[in-house]
A = this chain, B = another copy of it.
Amino acid sequence: MIKKAGILGGGQLGRMLLQAAANYPVETYVLENDAECPAAHLCHHFELGDIRDFDAVYTFGKKVDVLTIEIENVNVEALEKLEAEGLKIIPRPSVLRTIKNKILQKQYYQQHQIPGAPFIITQNREELAQHADFLPAVHKIGEGGYDGKGVQLLREQADIAKGFDAPAVLEKMVDIHKEIAQTVAISESGATALYPPVEMLFDPTLNLLDYQLCPAELSTQTLYRVEAIALTVARNFKSPGLFAVEMFIDKNGDVQVNETAPRVHNSGHHTIEAHYSSQFDMLWRIMLNYPLGSTDAILPSIMVNIIGTDGHSGPVKYEGLEEVLKIENAFIHLYGKKETRPGRKMGHVTILSNEKQELLHQSNRIKHTLLPKA
């Protein structure tokens, strides 16, 4: 019997999940409140509705055999009721409850002795103001942050006005040497598979992932530490799923967990072409209760996000697309979004090569050539 699988959210992650789904016998459902979202036309059954709404999620969940998410910001209460009624949900709703609230997430790491930056929980801006001596720090809102929103850098006392007047985490600034992400796959039976860690560079203004190299350059000792920590983070959730664990290597060489996404994630896009089992393929294997795939790299890779150009809002045109399409070892993914906005994720490009210099050169060229403009 062909399984029915639902995805909450219809953005680019859903889109790429559905591209991978077409390799398997599965009937796909998507819930999203935009009939023109990137994933809408690639599923068997598209349902218009708000993933944050209890009834919409509950009704949707009743139609499928297995359910996943492409964003944490969904109605967890409905998922808990569905799970209690026997629906398989990947990841389990308890994971989402922990992760979607930055305070609970930070407490989870603490509870499991997972290394991370020291932090203080602040309930409002007044409380925040009492911790000026804790700066420089990062203020992260408890609920509702996503894609760089809900995060504020507070360097000095004068920045406190930029902090959140709501429950939040004030996290000591880490003296970052490297930023990496490690994806862990966990099957229903508890089998695990680790992708090679990737090394990330962020756009300092938008806090969006800019480009990332795979594998990350790490000493064997650090690699083992990173893998052990990522496994500890993922396993203690006691849930099947994919877990992208973002970590810092600080200037002392210590590993500190930043945050975790319990789903397919921007840091795994390169796996589509560069690895035997992509993160999207892997999530289907987990959902359909198939054996886990191989996380081995076919070749080293780099991934560049294609982000809406500053000062351009409206129907998108891709400046430089022809030139980038001529690059022989580049794989282009445009997400089919009709409108561009500054900072909006419009696509990504993955480059494969055994030569690190070639990867860096081409990714930098692509970043400055392929520009979504209005």
Residues of A in contact with B (beta carbons under 8 Å apart): 2, 15-16, 18-19, 22-25, 28, 41-44, 276, 285, 290-291, 293-294, 296, 298-299, 316, 318, 321-322, 325-326, 328-329, 331-334, 336, 338, 352
> Separation in Å of the A285 CB from the closest CB of chain B?
7
Bound-complex Cα distance A336 to B44 (A): 11
Q: Which 4 pairs between the two chains have the least Cβ-Cβ distance? A: A294-B328, A41-B44, A291-B326, A23-B333
Interface of chain A, main secondary structure: loop
Bound-complex Cα distance A298 to B325 (A): 17
Of all chain B residues, the one with the shortest Cβ separation from A294 is B328
**CB-based contact B24/A22 at 8 Å:** no
**CB-based contact B325/A293 at 8 Å:** yes
The count of identical subunits is 2
> Separation in Å of the A316 CB from the closest CB of chain B?
8
Bound-complex Cα distance A293 to B326 (A): 7
Of all chain B residues, the one with the shortest Cβ separation from A26 is B336
**CB-based contact A329/B42 at 8 Å:** no
29 contacts between A and B (CB under 8 A): A2-B336, A2-B338, A15-B22, A18-B22, A19-B19, A19-B22, A22-B42, A22-B336, A23-B331, A23-B332, A23-B334, A24-B334, A25-B318, A25-B334, A41-B42, A41-B43, A41-B44, A276-B329, A290-B322, A290-B325, A291-B322, A291-B325, A291-B326, A293-B328, A294-B329, A296-B328, A298-B298, A298-B299, A298-B352
Using Cβ atoms and an 8 Å threshold, which residues of chain B touch A294? 328-329
Using Cβ atoms and an 8 Å threshold, which residues of chain B touch A326? 291
Of all chain B residues, the one with the shortest Cβ separation from A24 is B334
Chain B CB within 10 A, most for which of A22, A28, A296, A332: A22
> Separation in Å of the A32 CB from the closest CB of chain B?
15
Using Cβ atoms and an 8 Å threshold, which residues of chain B touch A328? 276, 293-294, 296
Using Cβ atoms and an 8 Å threshold, which residues of chain B touch A41? 28, 42-44
CB within 8 Å for A321 and B290 given contacts A24-B334, A276-B329: yes
Bound-complex Cα distance A318 to B3 (A): 13
Of all chain B residues, the one with the shortest Cβ separation from A347 is B23
> Separation in Å of the A365 CB from the closest CB of chain B?
15
Of all chain B residues, the one with the shortest Cβ separation from A46 is B41
> Separation in Å of the A287 CB from the closest CB of chain B?
13
Bound-complex Cα distance A51 to B329 (A): 37
Of all chain B residues, the one with the shortest Cβ separation from A36 is B44
Of all chain B residues, the one with the shortest Cβ separation from A348 is B23
Of all chain B residues, the one with the shortest Cβ separation from A295 is B328
